[in-house]
Structure 1
Amino acid sequence: MGVGGSKLEKALGDHFPEGERYFGFENFGNTCYCNSVLQALYFCVPFREQLLEYYSNNKSQGDGDENLLTCLADLFSQISSQKKKTGVVAPKRFVQRLRKENDVFRGYMHQDAHEFLNFLLNQLVEILEKAPHKVKGEDVPNGPCNGGQVNGLVKQEPPITWVHNTFQGILTNETRCLRCETVTARDEIFLDLSIDIEQNSSITSCLKNFSSTETLNANDKFFCDKCSSLQEAQKRMRIKKPPRILVIHLKRFKFMEQLNRHKKLSYRVVFPLELKLSTTVGDADSEYSLFAVVVHIGSGPNHGHYVSLVKSHNHWLFFDDENVEIIDESAIQTFFGSAQEYSTNTDHGYILFYESLTADDKQ
């Protein structure tokens, strides 16, 4: 179990949640970027439940069908079925598969946690879309089709997967012609939001800047179909459909032309435990609750360490590879960032996970 596990069980005592497991992950050489994200995903309850259900329905498959999805499902099942309440597991099979799938993660260099999360979610979607799905009791192979009928055969649209249902939201890009006032809207889906940050700001203000109005003029004029010509216009990005799980990536690594390299922005950005999303289409705010934070520790993008903070059953836990500790909720604010440009504190929130409190999203 280890000293950390014993301390954690003693700290929680009679308050240890029934059926829950708190396990650290072994590090296989700079795999903290992977470990921290996997912990956040494990404590994303809707995602975990769907993945364990997938494992239960597909565990009879042979090793020949192994992919990132089966490896992740096997890992989550391994944790949830542990007899002990705490300890350490080795996500070796998953890491080996990850390195096989993408040469970016093949070596032992420091990697970006957000890049890994993005790759993983998109890979899971791709695997699920290609898997056979049930139509009136029969397995039908999926394909990248758009529906409709060709030569008497009905095309099957790729299904909306449970990864989509958990993380996907819809953005709408609105452009208003300042001559005829016609608004052109273009929708695009997202699994996470990458937002620019400013010093001494908050997630709320950063999201407002993300959705702020931009004027297109001079060389950036917009071609209006109604006017059939280039016109001055205003455009803005808004959230048309908020996701059930809102993942926010803070763009802390910025390319500095004068330095000809990326620099880490240690800006202090407050991320609240409860978030109201007011940048959406419509009048109603969407309310969210913070349940996980992936933290980058270090002064630059090419080196450092990742840990994660996770909320589970109303208490917060600190995951640092093999080590798991309980922390006070007030400790979260120490990861907001630094008010000064140069600070000894290099532990900064990097990826935030919020769960919707809206009743419709919990059904």
Structure 2
Amino acid sequence: MPSTRIAVKWGAKTYDVDVDLDGTGAALRATLASLTGVPVDRVKVTGLRGGRPLADDTDLRTCGLEDLARRNKRLMMFGSTATIEAPATAVKFVEDLPERERDAAAAGDEFRPGMVNLGNTCYANSVLQCLRACAGLRETVAGWTAEDGGRGRGTAALTSALRDVFGDVERAREAVMPVRFLNVLRQMHPQFAQHGPGGVPMQQDAEECWSAVMHALSTETPDEMKRLFGIGMRRELKCSESGETRNEESIEYSLKCNITIEVNHVTEGFRIALNDTRELRSEALGRDAVFEGASKISSLPEYLTTQLVRFFYKADIRAKAKILRAVTFPITLDAYEFCTDELKAELDPARKLKLKREDDAATQRMNEKKAALEGAKEESSDTAMGDAPASSAATSDVAPVSTAPEPEVDPLEGTRLTGFYDLIAVLTHKGRSADSGHYVSWVKHDNGSWTQFDDEKQIPTTEEEVLKLKGGGDHHMSYILCYKARKI
């Protein structure tokens, strides 16, 4: 009988456990329950290969236990021996639940599990839930394999960990623990491994976590990430003293929204962020001089990420401070005004086609309404005059034959960018500093419903509630917005 001995840490105690590798997760959980006194249904184990949870049907041969034992690594066990009091109220059937809980129960596959907070890790959980809302990214990561196994590349390890988390969420029916993802993130970027008083992990900035993931993905899948998230930027600067110009091209992975006292809407913040003033070396003047200009979007991605720049370093308190100002954002964002003239020319045909289809649909609705009204009038008249004679079409044995030509198939249907983007995810922050407070994600599903992911908790919500995340107080306020391109 193949077996191995593995150390399992539970609280302050560590147990050496002999594990039958032919067994299942249920057997290991039962063994741990007998050792610790924790009820078996509360036993949760982390540290398995791929960060997967230990389920009853887990094949212990696939969990990497022998490798962990060779490297003297431990599994971590969670679970309490405390007695759970009986519920104060009787269990309710679905139809007896409050409306929000009823919606959650009815959401089915659209209602994905949350993620366990492993100690001030809400920033990472929120980033993962928002990124998972991007179907194109899920497909890219699922099909990714590292060249040469990715040995020695932290970016490959982080991409692999992200792929595993997405897979865990797809299969799980309870909260997922993104242990491996956090371990790799902390190894690559030590700032995420900082601890505060009492050894508790410190809260981190969600935007910094988002950027770390974007860097890893753009290193491992550069072409796909450019298509999915890369915003082509063209920067044109001019020195008024010498008349010199500087032109730069770059790929950015977020569109910044600067917040000032004049900014009430994200598009106003975009305009400020895209304006640029720099002090550069002037060859004509032989010294540094001021160059002024602006950036414009030269290419658009599948998913447009925008960051509201709410945090800044305040020197007098030596800490990050937060701008609480209310900044509204749209459900549908039009990026057209921020594009170069060349890109606008590329978008124009699709935008005109979109407008024509909307006008045609409006005309059709108007005609249908008019026909319905006229039909109601005729029916009323026929009823008043007695039975109306049957129409020739009704008495004919031969069905009318349509002579209308078959519509041509448009090979470009659904591929043309319009410059319009639909909101699919919002990452919010509640609190006064990036080093404290709480992060939450709000995700739109394919069926149009919205869910708030507050770590393990999933809360059905509405578009109206999402639009209230503009800020202006101590409520959750938007920090990162993710939009998906509307194509035609």
| Same fold (TM > 0.5) | yes
Does the 8 A contact of 1:296 with 1:306 survive in 2?
yes
Comparing both structures, which one devotes a greater share of its residues to helix? 2
Change (3 A) 1:62 1:172: closer
TM-score, length-scaled by structure 2: 0.57
Specify every segment of 5 or more residues in structure 2 that has no aligned partner in the other structure, as ranges: 1-40, 43-90, 195-200, 348-417
Is 1:88 aligned with 2:175?
yes
Change (3 A) 1:211 1:63: closer
2:457 counterpart letter in structure 1: N
Change (3 A) 1:12 1:320: closer
Equivalent in the alignment of 2:324: 266
Is 1:236 aligned with 2:326?
no
2:331 counterpart letter in structure 1: L
Shift of 1:358: 3.5
* CA distance in structure 2 between the partners assigned to 1:10 and 1:223 by the alignment: 66
Equivalent in the alignment of 2:429: 296
Specify every segment of 5 or more residues in structure 1 that has no aligned partner in the other structure, as ranges: 129-159
RMSD of aligned C-alpha atoms? Answer: 3.2
Is 1:125 aligned with 2:218?
yes
Equivalent in the alignment of 1:317: 451
* CA distance in structure 2 between the partners assigned to 1:124 and 1:233 by the alignment: 34
Does the 8 A contact of 1:274 with 1:289 survive in 2?
yes
TM-score, length-scaled by structure 1: 0.75
Equivalent in the alignment of 1:71: 161
Between 33-42 and 91-100, the greater mean CA deviation after superposition: 91-100
Shift of 1:287: 1.2
Aligned length: 308
Higher relative contact order (CA 8 A, sep 6+): 1
Equivalent in the alignment of 2:142: 52
SS at match of 2:275: coil
Is 1:223 aligned with 2:269?
no
* CA distance in structure 1 between the partners assigned to 2:422 and 2:170 by the alignment: 24
Partner deviation per Cα, 1:199-237 (whole Å, 9 max, x = no partner)? 4511111111122365x7xxx476266x88877653212
Shift of 1:101: 2.2
* CA distance in structure 2 between the partners assigned to 1:182 and 1:349 by the alignment: 40
* CA distance in structure 2 between the partners assigned to 1:309 and 1:332 by the alignment: 7
SS at match of 2:203: coil
1:41 counterpart letter in structure 2: L
Does the 8 A contact of 1:299 with 1:346 survive in 2?
no
Q: Aligned runs of 1:102-181 on 2, under 5 Å? A: 102-107=189-194, 108-128=201-221, 160-178=222-240
Shift of 1:347: 1.5
Equivalent in the alignment of 1:191: 253
Does the 8 A contact of 1:20 with 1:80 survive in 2?
no
Answer with 1 or 2: which has the greater Rg.
2
Partner deviation per Cα, 1:8-42 (whole Å, 9 max, x = no partner)? 7731565x36x545110011101100000000011
> Percent same amino acid at aligned positions?
26
1:352 counterpart letter in structure 2: L
Does the 8 A contact of 1:21 with 1:80 survive in 2?
no
SS at match of 2:234: strand
Change (3 A) 1:228 1:256: closer
Shift of 1:317: 0.7
Comparing both structures, which one devotes a greater share of its residues to strand? 1
